[in-house]
Amino acid sequence: MLKKLFIAIFLIFLIFFTINFTQIKTNEKNNITIGSSLPLSGINKELGKEIIEGANSYYSHINAKGGIGGKKLTFLYYDDKYEPQNTLTNTINLIEKDSVFALFSFVGTPTTKAILPKIYDLDIPFIAPYTGASFLRNIEFDNVVNFRSSYKEEIEEIVKYLNEEKKLKRFAIFYQNDDYGEEGYIAAIEALNKRGLSLIGEGTYKRNTLSIRHALHEIKSSNPEVIIIVGAYKPSAHFIRKARECCFKDVIFAPISFVNANALIKELDGNGNNILFSQTVPTYEDNSLKVANEYLKLLKFYYPNAAPTYASFESFLAAKLLVEALKRTKNDITRKNFLEELKKLPKDILGKIPIEYKNTQLLNQVYLSVYKNNKFQLVDKNYDKN
């Protein structure tokens, strides 16, 4: 009798396990999981939040329409506080525990550098990291597809405009004291040397701090006309505010895109005076762009309390391309097929925002803007007309 009871219990357990195992496998087959690690706390948290809002607006829209061939998209993300060790831990969890199909929109240069060996060895798709780092633009990394232009291209455009059109020659730089800042520093030197110029001043601050006093002191004595800014939005805003108070009334501040223009303006209480912004996407307020109108509509629907920003618009566009590539794999959704389709997407798939896969990136333009009358406005570059 006891033996029969044990057999019955064993059979019940076996059936239960089989049903649950099958359900897990079914769920895996019915979902495509995309993973990310980005700052959701700390002094760079706004950037992480905006990226999630932009991407999730489009992913949610696709899921509401039935997903991709019946498969729903799951966007899974972890907070790394913009610290490389946290990013590495999160990446290991995403790959080994969560079995993600691809990694998407990781934020930062030092953070992505920490995980580069792992994603290279595992050959997992690494899509649209929010950084313009040169080491991610290595053609040997077939599994890395950047969305945005590089920091080198951004700073070249800043220097070109301010030197060739505005005739300014005295450039200094304020930058984060890590791999990200070093990327910007080297790019600035190269852009200036190309024109027979050199940096006349420089100052650094430590990542995830607001310690800008020493940098301001170092730059102050050089009497610059332009200060290129390669940092995060909070320390960059703190630097600009203190610089305006102490000594720089007419200096042009030139932050690159990672600084996060919207968050910077918010920190400065809407004062965009003498700031030239570099962006890797056009303004979302351009109603002639069909995709910008789509972004505004979906962001308002899925995140009614979120304000549109450059970062969330960029994330939305990158998510749209990721989805388009998945759709084109038909019923054979493999990592290899997905990457192949992503790299050969039509140039006009985003309408008036042209894409072309070259130098491991899909977007290859830089947009300069100023903030006036409570909105970002593109600057008129005469050399673009020649």
User: Given this model, what pLDDT does residue 382 score?
Assistant: 63
Q: CA dist 350 to 261, 281, 353, Å?
A: 23, 11, 5
User: Given this model, what pLDDT does residue 383 score?
Assistant: 54
> Residues 6 or more apart from 372 whose CB is under 8 A from it?
272
> Residues 6 or more apart from 116 whose CB is under 8 A from it?
135, 136
The pLDDT tens digits along the chain (386 residues) read 444 444 444 444 443 333 333 333 323 467 999 999 999 999 899 999 999 999 999 999 999 999 998 999 999 999 999 999 999 999 999 999 999 999 999 999 999 999 999 998 999 999 999 999 999 999 889 999 999 999 999 999 999 999 999 999 999 999 999 999 999 999 999 999 999 999 999 999 999 999 999 999 999 989 999 999 999 999 999 999 999 998 888 999 999 999 999 999 999 999 999 999 999 999 999 999 999 999 999 999 999 999 999 999 999 999 999 999 999 998 789 999 999 999 999 999 999 999 999 989 999 999 999 999 999 999 976 656 55
User: Given this model, what pLDDT does residue 385 score?
Assistant: 57
User: Given this model, what pLDDT does residue 328 score?
Assistant: 96
Q: Are 197 and 174 in contact (CB under 8 A)?
A: no
Q: Set out the domains of the chain in order of their start, with CATH numbers.
A: 26-149+284-355 (3.40.50.2300), 151-279+369-385 (3.40.50.2300)
User: Given this model, what pLDDT does residue 139 score?
Assistant: 87
Buried b / exposed e along 52-69 (16+ C-beta atoms within 10 A): bbbbbbbbbbbbeeebbe
- Which runs of E-coded beta strand occur in 148-282? 171-176, 199-205, 226-230, 252-255, 277-279
Distance CA 310, CA 47 (A): 10
Please tell me the pTM assigned to this model.
Answer: 0.89
- Which runs of E-coded beta strand occur in 102-247? 102-104, 126-127, 144-145, 171-176, 199-205, 226-230
